[in-house]
């Protein structure tokens, strides 16, 4: 069950329509998970600084069970997420940062229990 959170200082009006849905589909493909399991949040217009500059920027947080736990996995994911984000947001790669967090099944609650028991 991946959680994908995009934060940017770009105003909402500069984001492409349907960005959350497109990011959901892209994340499902990149991480090899069904789209029905992907959770996406997009936050725009935030006060942000990346690499010491408040110029247009974004950060992506990707948390999931089993698919973001190694440097090799994340290197592949990173390249594909960067391709998506640069195309969708019109930002250079130097203005985007991605953080990957591996999760354990007991860390995610769903249907009154945790994923360990589902």
Beta strand 39-43 pairing with 109-110: unpaired
For residues 48 and 10, is the Cβ–Cβ distance under 8 A? no
Q: Based on the residue annotation, tell me whether 2 is a catalytic residue of this protein.
A: yes
State how far the Cα of 96 lies from the Cα of 116, in Å rounded to an integer: 33
Torsion angle defined by CA atoms of residues 30, 39, 98 and 50, in that order, rounded to the nearest 10 degrees: 140
Given the residues 2, 16, 34, 56, the one annotated as active site: 2
Catalytic residues, which ones?
A: 2
């Amino acid at each position: 069950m991946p959680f994908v959170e995009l934060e940017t200082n770009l105003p909402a009006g500069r984001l492409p329509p349907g960005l959350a849905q497109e990011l959901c589909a892209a994340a499902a493909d990149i991480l090899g998970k069904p789209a029905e399991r992907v959770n996406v949040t997009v936050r725009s217009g935030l006060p942000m600084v990346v690499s010491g500059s408040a110029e247009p920027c974004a950060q992506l947080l990707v948390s999931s069970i089993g698919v973001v736990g190694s440097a090799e996995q994340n290197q592949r994911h990173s390249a594909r997420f960067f391709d998506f984000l640069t195309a969708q947001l019109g930002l250079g790669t130097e203005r985007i940062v991605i953080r990957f967090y591996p999760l354990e099944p007991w860390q995610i609650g769903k249907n009154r229990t945790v994923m360990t028991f589902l």
